[in-house]
Amino acid sequence: MFLQDALRSLSSRDNLTLMSNKAPINAPAKAHTHREIMVILGGLMTGLFLAALDQTIVATSLKNIVEEFDGLNHYTWVVTAYLLTSTASTPIYGKISDIYGRRPVFQFAIVTFLIGSLLAGASQNMNQLIATRALQGLGAGGLMALAFVIIGDIVPPRERGRYQGYFGAVWGLSSVAGPLLGGFFADHNQILGVTGWRWIFYINLPFGIAALLITSAVLHIPKVKRAHTIDYLGALLMVVSVCLVLLSVSIYGPQYGWGDSRTVGYLVTGLVLTVLFLYWETKAKEPILPLHLFKNHTFSLTSALGAVIGAGMFGAIVMLPLYFQVVKGYSATEAGLKLIPLMLGIVSTSIFSGKMITKHGHYKRFPIVGTALMTAGVLMMTRLEIDTPYWQISIYAIMVGAGLGLSMQTTIIALQNSVDFKDMGVATSSNTFFRSLGSVFGTALFGAVLTNRVTHYLSTNFAELAKSNPAALDGFDMSKLGGISNSTAVLKTLPPVIQTTALDAFVSSFHVVFYAAAPVTAIGFILALMLRETPLRTTQDYAAAREEAAGETLG
């Protein structure tokens, strides 16, 4: 009820603003100038940056947080709570924004995120931090989804590329800025009298307030008035089913084993509720996720492609810094700096592909080239060794980043161009939802592969060392092998020969992870080949589509 009342209040403010400007509620939207769009874009990019940043900034500060709260047994929940609520809420925001309007829902997401950030920074124990991270994620789901939806509202597909490419740059920047800022704050005991790690949350406040002020001042999109009902049961089934499946995949499976009763129980229950959700959506008057969208070839294809890209993106963003820290011995801050080539690849190709799409009107070629580059880059990473020079790693990282930049925003342009204007919000947010799902599943899958292979290679490598050079193991307690796989800090305390043997085990494990990731990104290449290219709608076409949607609603 709080959500509904808050949205009604904000929506009423929107309507008063529009009335004061003497614009009828269902009037066609006036075309925005380039300058107006860039100002709006600034607010949207700020909101998106906050949501993307909080997916990566916490990781490098977890050690300090765990030490202060003595919460090692719950540390994974600090990350997972955010991912759960942000992923599960994404498609719901799209549907609600179709009903109440974009601006009030986007601002509600900003306010929710800011409250969550403030409370997370003030947390006094692990339980409070986990709960407030979940609240942050609830706001982040709206920030991630609605940024793309709002640009889809104000810019026709033919012109959208040059603006939407900047969103890809935001993802690239956050992938480097997150570990860097997290490491910086974690390395300082206090900043302005406040514990260093708490600033990873407090830093959101000025940026979030700026996004709120910008959107309040310039984001005036005439709201299409429509009769509506909210599918509360469908929303509940979706959230619970997604949370249970993600819990089994990202927490219980890696932590307790895939055959553990908790893992199997959560997974089976989640899948059963997913089936019930899909059945209910066929009966609901106004479903949260209209299943008729899956009859749209481009929607289905870009949803699958988004999941693949999400898995590839987080596979690279998580595994590469881990390689830098474990194998190369870099600090968290140094590992973040070493990701700059990945960021440069994402940023440059996102902006380039967006401008080329606007100029020539063709988009299919970019995800094809992008997924091919990603696959090649991931395969090249199987060549990483203990002594691989940084310039070689940079080339591989640029290839993966360039592939991501060419693919991420292009698929959203293709999707938005293919759906009816009335389904813009739910279709776009659903695509973001599937990409988030892919990132969670990809991270869990690659993490499970790494853990399994590290244990295997440590055992086999030390067995071979015992045969070839038994003197090297004199005085070494073999029971420490388990400690190496659980805490890589032990590596620095080992004698040179034993340390090299252990690092070789990690390198071989990373090879297997990248070999496992390559087929996933290759599937993305096949999906990109199947994409149908349709002419991008121009300003005139888009205005007609908007008026048609308004006419259908009134009728």
| CATH of residue 144 | 1.20.1250.20
Do residue 179 and residue 49 come from a single domain? yes
Element (H, E) at 505: helix 496-530
- Number of other CB atoms surrounding residue 391 within 10 Å: 8
Nearest to 77 by CA among 311, 236, 250: 250
Domain for residue 550, yes or no?
Answer: no
Whole-model pTM: value is 0.75
Same domain, 245 and 210: no
Please tell me the predicted confidence (pLDDT) of residue 268. Answer: 92
Q: Say if residue 422 is in the same domain as residue 386.
A: yes
Given a contact cutoff of 8 angstroms between Cβ atoms, the answer to whether 369 and 406 are in contact is: yes
Rounded Cα–Cα distance for residues 361 and 357 (Å): 5
Cβ pair 544, 401 in contact under 8 A? no
- Distance, in Å, from the CA atom of 47 to the CA atom of 147, rounded to the nearest integer, reads 8
Contacts of 396 (CB under 8 A, 6+ apart): 377, 380, 381, 383, 384
For residues 234 and 237, give the distance between their C-alpha atoms in angstroms, rounded to a whole number: 5
Which residues have C-beta within 8 Å of that of residue 21, sequence separation ≥ 6? Answer: 220
**Based on the domain organization, do 235 and 207 belong to the same domain?**
no
Which residue reads 């595994």 in tokens?
319
Same domain, 439 and 465: yes
Whether residue 27 is contained in a domain is answered as: no
Say whether both 235 and 301 belong to one domain: no
Query: Does 25 map to a domain?
Result: no
Query: Residue 105: inside a domain, yes or no?
Result: yes
Closest CA to 334 of 183, 185, 175: 183
- Which structural domain range is residue 149 located in? 1-15+32-222
Residue-wise DSSP of 186-232: HT-SEETTEEGGGHHHHTHHHHHHHHHHHHHHH-------------H
| Residues in CB range of 371: below 8 A, 6 or more apart | 305, 308, 309, 403, 407, 521, 522, 524, 525, 527, 528
- Reference 315, options 121, 524, 89; nearest CA is 524
Residue with tokens 């161009």: 417
Domain boundary among 222, 242, 260: 222
Residues 318 and 255 in one domain: no
Q: Terminal CA-to-CA distance of the chain, rounded, Å?
A: 29
Asked if residue 549 belongs to a domain, the reply is: no
CA nearest 26: which of 101, 97, 106, 94? Answer: 101
Counting the structural domains of the chain, the total is: 3
| Residue where one domain finishes, among candidates 222, 254, 271 | 222
My answer on whether 198 and 278 are in the same domain is: no
270/387 same-domain check: no
Q: Tell me the C-alpha distance between 364 and 46, whole Å.
A: 28
Residue (of 129, 126, 128, 133) closest to 112 by Cα position = 133
Return d(Cα 453, Cα 360) in angstroms, integer: 47
Rounded to 10°, the helix 126-154/390-418 angle is: 60
Rounded to whole angstroms, what are the CA distances from 488 to 104, 328, 375? 47, 12, 29
Per-residue pLDDT of the chain (555 residues; tens, 9 = 90+): 333 444 344 344 444 333 334 344 344 445 667 777 787 888 888 888 888 787 778 766 766 776 677 655 566 677 777 877 888 888 888 778 877 778 888 889 999 999 999 998 888 888 888 889 889 988 888 888 788 788 777 777 767 766 766 777 777 777 777 777 877 887 777 788 888 788 888 888 988 888 888 878 777 665 555 556 677 788 888 888 888 887 887 777 777 777 888 888 988 998 999 999 889 888 877 787 888 888 888 889 988 998 888 887 666 667 887 788 788 888 767 777 888 888 888 888 888 888 888 787 788 889 999 999 999 999 999 999 988 999 999 999 999 989 988 888 788 888 888 887 777 777 887 887 888 788 877 877 787 788 788 888 888 888 888 888 777 777 666 666 666 655 566 677 777 788 888 888 889 989 998 998 889 889 999 999 998 888 776 655 545 545 544 444 444
Boundary-marking domain end, from 204, 222, 240: 222
291: how many CB neighbours lie within 10 A of its CB?
Answer: 12
Task: State residue 554's pLDDT score.
Answer: 41
d(CA 306, CA 521): 11
Give kind and range of the element (H or E) at residue 348. helix 340-360
pLDDT of residue 70: 64
- What is the spatial distance between Cα 138 and Cα 147, in angstroms, rounded to a whole number? 15
Q: Is residue 463 part of a domain?
A: yes
Who contacts 298 (Cβ-Cβ below 8 Å, separation ≥6)?
414, 415, 417, 418, 419, 531, 532, 534
- CA distance linking residue 6 with residue 123, whole number of Å: 26
- Cβ-proximal residues to 408 (8 Å cutoff; 6+ apart), any chain: 167, 168, 171, 309, 313, 346, 350
Task: Say how many residues make up the chain.
Answer: 555
- Check residue 26 and give its pLDDT: 41
User: With b meaning 16 or more CB within 10 Å and e meaning fewer, what string describes 170-188?
Assistant: bbbbbbbbbbbbbbbbbee
* 552 located within any domain: no
* H or E segment to which residue 416 belongs: helix 390-418
274 and 325 co-located in one domain: no
Residues 102 and 142 in one domain: yes
Q: Torsions phi, psi of 194, nearest 5?
A: -115, 140
Report yes or no: 304 and 434 within 8 Å, Cβ to Cβ.
yes
Residues 237 and 150 in one domain: no
Tell me if 59 sits within 8 A of 76, measured CB to CB.
no
| C-alpha dihedral sign at 204, 63, 340, 397 | negative
Sign (positive or negative) of CA dihedral 51, 53, 59, 63? negative
Q: Count other C-beta atoms under 10 Å from residue 247's C-beta.
A: 20
Give the closest residue to 409 by CA, choosing from 311, 306, 529, 530. Answer: 306
- What pLDDT was estimated at residue 111? 93
Residue 554 lies in a domain: no
